[in-house]
Every structure is written in C-alpha cells, then in structure tokens.
C-alpha cells in the first residue's frame, strides 16, 4: 500500500513540537534536517513510528529524520504547513549548544544539499560524453558535442553562483546581492582581466613583450585590436583596487571564497539595514554591500579561502600519496560510519576542490566501494532472512543502494541488524584498497552508483576504470557473501 506522505508530514510536525518549535528546515538527499528551538520536547519514539520514516538522529545541532528517496516530497508538504524561513537557521537559539565542527558540517550540508543532484547530473553528462567520444559516437569538433560539453561544465563554472543562493538562505543574506557578488567573480570581463594580468606578470620580462604592451597602451587602435581579436584587455600594470594589489585567482568551481564572502555579506547587510534611514535603505543597502563585499572578496576572502581550500585538499592528497591502498581501505571501510553521524558532508569541499585544481578526484573512487558494499550486505539480508517484513525492506533498500543512496540500506537493514553493517564495512575496505591499488579516480563530480559509472571513465585511462569496476564488484559480492555466511541475529518480533 502506498504511503500517505501528506499524513506523515503532519505527524512529523506534531511530533517535533509543532510549527512554533521549528526554527528552520532543510533537506539533503535522504534526510529532513530540522533546527529546533527546544530539542527536549521532541517525541523521537513517535517520529520513528510514523509511516515513511526510516529512523531519526541528532547531529550537528540538527534533528534529522531519514526518509529516503521521497524526502523532497515530505519536505515540500511540511513547508506548506509551517511558517519558517530557512535563513533563520543562522539565528537559531541552539547554535551555542553545538561545537564549531558541528556548525561547519551544518553549514556545508545546508549549502550543498539543495543542488547536489544538479551538480551530479552535470558530472554524469561529462562522463557520458567521454564514453561516446571514445566509442566514436560523437565528434569533439561537432556542434552536438560542443553544446552538450559546455552544458556539462556550466554547473561547475558557475558553482559560486549556486553556492551563493544557498549560502544566502543559510546566513540570512539578500539572495540577489549574494548572486551578483558571485556573478562578479565569474564575470567574463573579470576573467579576461585575469588572463591579461597573468600574461602581464608572466611575459613582461621579455623586452619585446614590454614594447608591445607599451605600444598598445599608448595606441587606442592597437588596444582595441588586441581586445577584439584575442578577447584580452590590455593592462599597463597589474590589477589593483585603490592602490591595493589584487591576487588574481580563478573563482570558477571555487567553494570557500564565496562562502566566506556571503557569510560576511550577511553581517554587512544587517549593519546597513540597522543604521540607514528607511527612505534610502532599500537602495543603498545593496549598493554599499556590493561596493564593499566584491572588492573585499578579491582582496581578502578570495586569497584566504583559496589558501584554506588548497591546504585541506593538499593534506588529503598527501595522505593518499603515502599509500593509496591504505587510504582506500580507510575510506571504503569508514565512509558509511561518517554517513551515520551525518558528518560526511565535510569532505564535499575537498572533492569539489580536487576537480577544480586537479581535474579529477581520488576520494570518490575509494568511496564507491563503501556504497556498493552496503548494497550487497542488504541483499545478503534479503537472501538470508526468514522474516518476510525484513525481506520486504531489504530488497528495495539494496536496489536503492545500487544507485548510490545507502541510507535506506543502512538504517532500514544493515545497521538495525548490526552484523551486516560490519560485514559491509569490511567489504568496503577491501574494495577501497583495490581501487587505491589501481589508483582509480573520478573525472567528474558524482555520487557513486551504477548510473554514475561513466564519470569514472576517460579515454586513455582504461586501467583506472577497470580497477574501479573490479573494486565495486568485489565490495558488492563480498558484502553479500559475508553477510549470508556470517549471518545475523533476527530482530525479535
């Protein structure tokens, strides 16, 4: 019988303390993420009994309700019945009750979750294009390929814009000012200045180049010709703002700089809203905010954010470089443990940063084994269990896990029975070690699953792709076999 999600949504609202107790609500791929005014009045047992709810947990200052694939439907139904604003999350009374790490995880999950599937779709399209080119089905010089190719890169090129939208909601900033701020960082004119500045800094030591630059800056016709033909504006000296030198960085696909910018924007905006007379507030608040935030981002937040993001990525890549096999075993074995505690979002900036700086990511390839291992463990439960109700849950959970969503398998099956979850982690560790041994990588952002396998393929890198396939097959089969052979204690009825 189909689940009545309208009824379930109303019951969830009541069980968490009603409309007045909900400070804000967001959702990720499988979970509702509540920030509540008073956690103590939540009836967790009642929430867990609601039809369609897999389980509940508390992490990162949030009360999380795991729904599964229908989480978006339940979220929209709840939002129709309550009167809250996502931006209120930044002003939650609970924010002082959680640690800094939990707050960071909360921010990352709130920012990335809304557009994660869109970003993954772009990554899958990149992978599919690579496969079709390798098979000779598409010509890279043809219009079809070129159009689909720039579509596949658009989500990453303008990633700061997507982040600005969700970050503005999270921090309580004006969404439109946030979007303009992000657009300024990926503005084609700014990108041209970036190219010109790079050319000036790297080539100006050549006397011939210096002479050409001097002639161009003194001759409007030459300047126009270079700009029109090459698309590069002529700069007589490195770019600065009010005499302060600007470190030229590419902000396409960047993460931390725009998050810092919108966070500070929320404070700047509130400051001007507080001090400006109402007659000029609506116009001058966004005006002054933009005039301050965009230059500050270019001067401060951009370099600082890029340094932080680069450092985090360098630490992971250094550890991976020490031993890809050990790294694979750790990631494959413990990834789903991070999922349980809701802290897996912390790795997202690292993976996105790797795609931007390296053009590929190793972590996602290691993570894939963990996903398929839990799907295999759930299928092992289906074959082994004598409980018809558990079998009815295990099969669809295994299928869902096969497509990259493991929460139903974990919370509905393997973790409930404990031993299958452990077997899945062991299988994931072995699969991850194999992926590490082959140095398998992902060439485009994705959430590992059977439908996203093209993102791991690239012409000329067949060995890495074959290694990835071997790793997930081994993880899946081992998860199934270990669960079936070792067995588990059936839940008491």
Residue 355 is encoded by which pair of tokens? 């795609």
Residue 248: phi, psi to the nearest 5? -75, 120
CB atoms within 10 A of CB 323: 14
- Do 351 and 361 touch, CB atoms closer than 8 A? yes
Q: Which active-site residues does the annotation give? A: 28
Residue 59: phi, psi to the nearest 5? -155, 140
Alpha-carbon span 49 to 31, nearest angstrom: 16
**Which is nearest to 488 in space by CA: 403, 401, 417?**
417
- Do 411 and 54 touch, CB atoms closer than 8 A? yes
According to DSSP, the residues that pair with 241 across neighbouring strands are 244
Long-range CB contact pairs, 411-415, < 8 A, 24+: 411/54, 411/55, 411/66, 412/54, 412/55, 413/377, 413/378, 413/381, 414/374, 414/377, 414/378, 414/381, 414/483, 415/340
Q: Using alpha carbons, list the distances in angstroms from residue 473 to 12, 419, 483.
A: 38, 21, 15
- Do 440 and 431 touch, CB atoms closer than 8 A? no
**Which is nearest to 427 in space by CA: 387, 383, 381, 368?**
368
- Side-chain half-sphere exposure of 164, counting CA atoms within 13 A: 27
């Amino acid at each position: 019988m189909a689940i009545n999600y309208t009824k379930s949504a109303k019951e969830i609202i009541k069980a968490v303390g009603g409309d007045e107790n909900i400070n804000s609500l967001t959702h990720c791929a499988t979970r509702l993420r509540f920030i509540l005014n008073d956690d103590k009045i939540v009836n967790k047992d009642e929430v867990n009994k609601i039809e369609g709810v897999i389980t509940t947990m508390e992490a990162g200052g949030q009360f999380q309700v795991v729904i599964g694939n229908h989480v978006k439907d339940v979220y929209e139904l709840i939002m129709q019945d309550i009167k809250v604003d996502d931006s209120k999350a930044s002003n939650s009374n609970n924010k002082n009750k959680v640690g800094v790490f939990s707050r960071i995880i909360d921010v990352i999950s709130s920012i990335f979750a809304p557009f994660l599937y869109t970003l993954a779709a772009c990554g899958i399209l990149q992978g599919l294009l690579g496969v079709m080119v390798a098979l000779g089905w598409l010509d890279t010089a043809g219009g079809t390929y070129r159009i689909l190719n720039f579509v596949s890169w658009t989500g990453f090129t303008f990633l700061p814009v997507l982040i600005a939208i969700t970050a503005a909601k999270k921090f309580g900033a004006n969404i439109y000012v946030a979007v303009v701020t992000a657009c300024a960082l990926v503005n084609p004119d700014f990108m041209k200045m970036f190219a010109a500045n790079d050319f000036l800094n790297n080539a100006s030591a050549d006397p011939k180049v210096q002479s050409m630059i001097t002639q161009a800056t003194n001759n409007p016709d030459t300047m126009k010709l270079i700009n029109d033909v090459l698309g590069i504006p002529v700069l007589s000296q490195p770019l600065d703002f009010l005499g302060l030198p600007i470190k030229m960085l590419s902000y396409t696909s960047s993460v931390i700089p725009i998050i810092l910018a919108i966070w500070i924007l929320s404070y700047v905006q509130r400051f001007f809203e507080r001090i400006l007379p109402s007659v000029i507030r609506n116009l001058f608040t966004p005006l002054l905010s933009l005039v301050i935030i965009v230059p500050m981002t270019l001067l401060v937040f951009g370099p600082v954010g890029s340094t932080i993001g680069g450092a985090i990525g360098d630490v992971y890549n250094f550890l991976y470089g020490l031993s890809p096999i050990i790294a694979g075993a750790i990631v494959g074995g413990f990834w789903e443990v991070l999922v349980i505690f809701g802290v897996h979002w912390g790795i997202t900036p690292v993976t996105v940063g790797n795609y931007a700086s390296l053009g590929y990511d190793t972590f996602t390839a290691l993570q894939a084994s963990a996903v398929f291992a839990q799907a295999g463990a759930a299928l092992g439960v289906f074959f082994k269990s004598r409980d018809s109700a558990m079998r009815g849950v295990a099969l669809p959970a295994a299928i869902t896990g096969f497509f990259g969503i493991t929460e139903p398998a974990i919370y509905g099956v393997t973790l409930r029975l404990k031993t299958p979850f452990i077997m899945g982690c062991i299988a994931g560790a072995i699969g991850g070690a194999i992926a590490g041994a082959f140095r398998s990588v992902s060439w485009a952002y994705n959430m590992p699953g059977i439908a996203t396998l093209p993102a791991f393929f690239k012409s000329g890198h067949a060995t890495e792709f074959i290694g990835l396939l071997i790793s997930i097959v081994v993880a899946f089969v081992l998860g199934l076999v270990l669960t079936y052979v070792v067995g588990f204690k059936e839940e008491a009825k």
